[in-house]
Structures are given as C-alpha cells and as structure tokens.
Structure 1
Amino acid sequence: MLHLNTKDLIDKSKSGDRVSQQKLYTRLNAPMMGVCIRYMKNTEDAEDVLLEGFHKVFKNLKKFTYENEHAFFGWVKRIMINEALMKLRKNKEIQILAINEDLDKEVDVSPLEELETRDLLKLIRSIPVGYRTVFNLFEIEGYSHQEISDKLGVSIGTSKSQLFKAKKLLRDHLIEKNQDYGS
C-alpha cells in the first residue's frame, strides 16, 4: 500500500476522507499525547484533552494552509497546549501561588540529566499544576514570560515566580531522591 505524505493526508482529510483522517490521527497520536500528559495530572484527563484537541484540529483543518510538516506539527501542538490550558482553567486547577521576589537566582537542576524520560515526566507531574504549567510552557515549549502571561492571564512576575518555584521544587525532589538512594 502506498504511504501518503503528511500534505496528502491533510488534503484528503480536508475533503472529509475518514481513512486519511484516521491515518493522520495515528501519525500524530503518540507525540501529541506526550504534550497533553505533561500538563495534566492523570492519563484520563490527558486523553480527554487529546480527543478534544483532535476534534478542533479536524474542525479547523480547512483553515490551515500547509507550508511544511514542521509547521503543521507546531499548529497541532499549539492546539493541544491550548486545550490543556482550557481544561485546567475550566476545572479551576491553575492556582497562582504567592509571588516570590527572589527571582533572579538561577536554580540548578543539572541532576535532571541523569533521569530517564519517564522518571522526569513523573517528577514534573508531581509538582502543583500552576508550577507545572509554567515550567512546561517556558522550559519545554519555549514560550517567553510575556507569552505565558498572555496565555494564562497572569503578570510576567507571576510567571517568573511560578517557574522559579517549579525549578526549586524539582531540585528539592531530586535531592531527596538522591538521598533515598544513598547518594
């Protein structure tokens, strides 16, 4: 069977071809689930976000102008991130905690390099949702504090504070984990 490239799948999906839509979903399912699971506390919520996100992808696919595969992947990823943020807001899970003005200190999280991916994901998912959300947006997705401020409706200082506290919590968890193993 002929392997269709992403552009062909998009074009056929735009015209309502269910087989192409399924192939596109299958191609993007795993990486997009990875995006969703970083923001949500449990797999069930991540799956809900994933399905809602794909619903929006296919609903808005006709408006998307294909440039290249990377741009398409980025577009789908932004939809998934926005869906995750909307679910967190809807469930009132994003709680912005007290601002710490001691923001200019850089927190060393170098022990992260030694963790397996699944351990890192588990560690990130263990921190409070506000910290986790800002950490993901800044460190993983590459958003600026201004962009995070706009997306979450918080001040830039709050975004910086949440990131600072997230890194501190992650560092503290890593130190604790190393002590548990006798390091």
Structure 2
Amino acid sequence: MDEILKGCINKNRKHQKALFDLYYKYGLAVSMAYCNHVDEAREVLNDAFLKVFERINDYDPTKPFEAWFRIIVIRTAINHFHKQANEIKWTNYEENTNIDIMNEDAEDQISDMSPDEVLKLAQQLPPAYRMAINLYAVEGYSHQEIAENLGISIGTSKANLSKARARLKFLISQCKLFAF
C-alpha cells in the first residue's frame, strides 16, 4: 500500500489505477448510502477519487487510509447533495409529519435483514432524510455538524432524522408485511 500511495503522490497513473481498483468497491458502497441510484453513486465516487489524487499529499500516513478516503467520499456526496439542493425541499422543523408508523417493532426486524436490504430501503428515503440518517446514525455526526455541513438549522437536522427513522420503520414494516 505504501508503494501505491507513493506512486500516487508522484502522479503515476499505474499506481493511481491500482488505488482506484483497490478502493472502488468500498467507495461505491459508501457513496451508495448517500445517493439515489448507482449512476449517481459512481459520479460521486469518481469525483471523490479525483479529490483523493489531487490531495494525496494531505494524507497522513500514520493514520488509516481507508478512514481518510471515506471522509473524502462522504464530503463529496455532501457537495453533490448541495449541487442538487434546488431540487430538494428541506423539511421545516415546524412541519408535521403524516407518516403512519404501522409497526413499532420495526427496529427489531432490521436485525433479520441483510445490509443490502437495509440499504435498498434507505435509498427509498427522500434525499434530505437519507442524508440526515446516514450522517447521524452511520457516520456519527452530531446535529451541529450535520447542520454546518448541509447549511440547515439544527432543528431541521433533528426533524429530518426523526422523519427518516419513522419512514424507515414504516418501510421495514411494509417489507415484512409483504414478505412471503
């Protein structure tokens, strides 16, 4: 890995290709958590790799590369999200939700599902909800950090997370209801 990173620092295409091949699947999995479909996730990932190659000198070799790479993919997804913000309607904190939670045990049911099934359900969430739940529950961001990164209020972050959880519970209950 050290040789690949040194080659990337020297802008060696062979080493850049090796890094791309090594981290493509991982990066795609991370970006899929934030994107509506695989084409969008690939676009985010390609942009992230460009940033990695441009900023490879900023990488601290005393820390895991995978963590640094993950942060770049997530930040690239956030930037992509901002570019599409004019198409996304943020939920105001004061709005009421009409989501009907049919099954309060949906959180327990999630343990019976594969990670791919959970990801597919999360991709059915509106982009604002999906971004909030991924940043908070998966990446461990605080509401303050989410608000700063997405340019929203803390209250909106909390509301989006709450509605994302409610919608996921509903989707999980529907999934279990229609399972054969």
User: Which TM-score applies when normalising by structure 1?
Assistant: 0.86
Q: How many residues align?
A: 172
Per the TM alignment, residue 164 of structure 1 is displaced from its structure 2 partner at its CA by 0.7
Alignment of 1:1-183 (within 5 A): 6-68=1-63, 71-92=64-85, 93-99=87-93, 109-181=107-179
Equivalent residue of 1:109, what SS? helix
Report if the CA contact (8 A) 1:109-1:167 is conserved: no
4+ aligned runs moved over 3 Å, structure 1: none
Q: CA deviation at 1:107?
A: 9.1
Match of 1:3 in 2: none
Q: Provide structure 2 residue ranges, at least 5 long, that are not aligned to the other structure.
A: 97-103
Q: What's the secondary structure of 1:126's corresponding residue?
A: coil
What do residues 15-70 of structure 1 show as CA deviations (whole Å, max 9, x unaligned)?
Answer: 122211111111111111011111110111111111011001001112323113xx
Distance (Å, rounded) in 2 between the aligned partners of 1:100 and 1:72: 41
Distance 1:176 1:64 in 2: 44
TM-score, length basis structure 2: 0.88
Task: Answer whether contact 2:106 2:173 (CA < 8 A) is retained.
Answer: no
Distance 2:4 2:173 in 1: 47
Q: Which moved more, 1:10-19 or 1:37-46?
A: 10-19
Q: Could you tell which deviates more after superposition, 48-57 or 9-18?
A: 9-18
Aligned partner of 1:55: which letter? Answer: L
In 2, distance between residues paired with 1:11 and 1:139?
A: 34
- What SS does structure 2 have at the residue aligned with 1:39? coil
Question: Could you tell me the percent identity over the aligned residues?
Answer: 29
**AA at the equivalent of 1:134:** A
